[in-house]
Amino acid sequence: MGHGALEKTETLSAVYQYVANRLESVDQRSSVLMVLSGSFLSYVLTTQHIAIGNGADTLLEIALRPSILLGAASFLAFYMSQFVRIRRQTDLISLIVFSHDDLAALTERFRNATGEQMLEEVISNQRVVGEILMKKGRYYNIGALLLALAAICHALQK
């Protein structure tokens, strides 16, 4: 392995670590705010004294309190950020990790790949991970905004 190949390997390793840290960060923040959102909903529901009667009356009473609807929507957004899905990928690394394709065919494809082809596969794979990160971030941002709006609405209702 030449000097340039070692530098590329080190760079790719750093990129993988960076993206993994970003994914973990979004997941942790989303989990914490999901708990906060659930606690907020519990607090609002217990302090608003919503009469639990027939389904239609209860739903109408909840609908008249935007803080409850926004809080529930924020909880859902944080929940969705934990389970982001993307379309099936065909890059070699995704196939090795996530597919049930024939192991011999994947091994052969890996063995026959040149350094440049593997670099292309790694870059393609990082784009997949980047897409996941962007979707998680979008759900997190939506959830944070909805939770803030829910808290503001609750404060204004008092």
Q: Using CA of residue 86, residue 84, residue 95, residue 103, what is the dihedral sign? A: negative
| 78, burial (CB in 10 Å: exposed 0-12, middle 13-18, buried 19+) | buried
Q: What's the whole-model pTM score?
A: 0.79
Please, what is the angle between helix 115-157 and helix 66-82, to 10°? 160
Range of the domain at 46: 3-157
What is the reported pLDDT for 3?
53
Which range of 37-41, 63-67, 94-98 scores highest in mean pLDDT? It is 37-41
Q: What is the mean pLDDT of the chain?
A: 86
Q: How many domains does the chain have?
A: 1
* Per-residue pLDDT tens digits for 67-110: 999 999 999 999 999 988 777 778 888 888 888 888 888 888 88
pLDDT tier at 6, thresholds 50, 70, 90: low
